[in-house]
Amino acid sequence: MHWIEIEQLAVRPFHVLDKEWALLVGGARGANPMTVSWGGFGTIWNRPTATVYVRPTRYTFSLLKSTPEFTLNVLPETLRPALDLCGSQSGRDVDKWEATGLTPAPSEKITVPRVAQAELSIECRVMATMAVDPSRFLDQGLMGNYPERDYHTAFLGEVLAVWGSDRFLAR
List pLDDT tens digits, range 118-158: 999 999 999 999 999 999 999 999 999 999 999 999 999 99
pLDDT at 1 over 90: no
CATH 3.40.50.300 fits 2-165, yes or no: no
Average pLDDT, the chain: 96
* Other residues' Cβ atoms within 10 Å of the Cβ of residue 106: 10
List pLDDT tens digits, range 69-111: 999 999 999 999 999 999 999 999 999 999 999 999 999 999 9
Structure pTM?
0.95
How many CA atoms, within 13 angstroms, populate the side-chain half-sphere of residue 70?
35
* Other residues' Cβ atoms within 10 Å of the Cβ of residue 7: 8
